[in-house]
């Protein structure tokens, strides 16, 4: 089986700006509800409203969770 280098996989589909993994061999969505992704191989995470992150090896990317004091519960962070 041959690995394919993927360009521009959006790992934050609910984001208004998008967060794109570039260069990973495989990007696997492991949880649709929480937007969790496993990235196989070295990659770069590029965003318009945050910094660019270089990953030297495989990594797990998940949505940031924050505490909302008004609802008194945790929720996914929004851009």
Domain boundaries, the chain: 7-76
pLDDT category of residue 72 using cuts at 50, 70 and 90:
very high
- Kindly report, residue by residue over 50-61, the tens digit of the pLDDT: 889 999 999 999
pTM for this prediction: 0.75
According to the model, what pLDDT value does residue 1 have? 47
69 compared with 15, residue with greater pLDDT: 69
Q: What does residue 26 show for φ and ψ, rounded to 5 degrees?
A: -140, 135
The 10s digit of each residue's pLDDT in 16-50 is: 778 889 988 888 888 877 788 899 999 999 988 88
Q: Give the Cα separation of 12 and 28 in Å (integer).
A: 13
Instruction: Answer whether 49's CB lies under 8 Å from 78's CB.
Output: no
What DSSP string runs through 3-68? ----EEEES-TTSSS-EEEES-SEEEEEETTTTEEEEESSEEEEESSS--EEESS-EEE---EEEE
């Amino acid at each position: 089986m041959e690995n394919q280098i993927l360009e521009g996989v959006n790992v934050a589909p609910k984001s208004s700006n998008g967060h794109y993994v570039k260069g990973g061999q495989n990007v696997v969505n492991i949880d649709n509800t929480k937007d969790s992704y496993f990235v196989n191989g070295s990659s770069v995470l590029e965003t318009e409203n945050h910094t660019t992150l270089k990953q030297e090896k495989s990594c797990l990317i998940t949505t940031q969770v924050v505490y909302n004091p008004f609802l008194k519960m945790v929720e996914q962070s929004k851009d």
